[in-house]
Amino acid sequence: MTEPIARPIGRQPARFAPHDPRAAVVAQRVMDAASEAMSDLHLEHVGSTSVPGCPGKGYVDLMTEYVEGRLEVVWQALESLGMAELGDEIRHLFPPERPVFHGLVKHAGDDFVVVVHVLAAGAWECGALSHLPRPIASR
pLDDT tens, position by position, 70-81: 999 999 999 999
Q: Which residue has the higher pLDDT, 70 or 87?
A: 70
The region, left, alpha or beta by phi > 0 then psi within -120 to 50, assigned to residue 53 is left
State the pTM of this model. 0.88
Give the confidence band of 136 by pLDDT, cuts at 50, 70, 90: very low
User: Strand, coil or helix: what is 59?
Assistant: coil
Phi, psi of 79, rounded to the nearest 5 degrees: -65, -35
| Residue pair 102/115 in contact by the 8 Å Cβ criterion | yes
The C-alpha atoms of residue 108 and residue 58 are separated, in whole angstroms, by 15
Sheet holding 44-46, edge to edge: 44-46, 60-66, 110-120, 100-107, 84-85
Strand partners, 131: none
> pLDDT tens digits for 7-44?
988 777 778 999 999 999 999 999 999 999 999 899 99
| Residue pair 30/62 in contact by the 8 Å Cβ criterion | yes
What whole-number percentage of the chain has pLDDT above 90? Answer: 65
* CA 6 centroid distance within chain: 11
> What domains does the chain contain, in order, with CATH numbers?
22-130 (3.30.460.10)
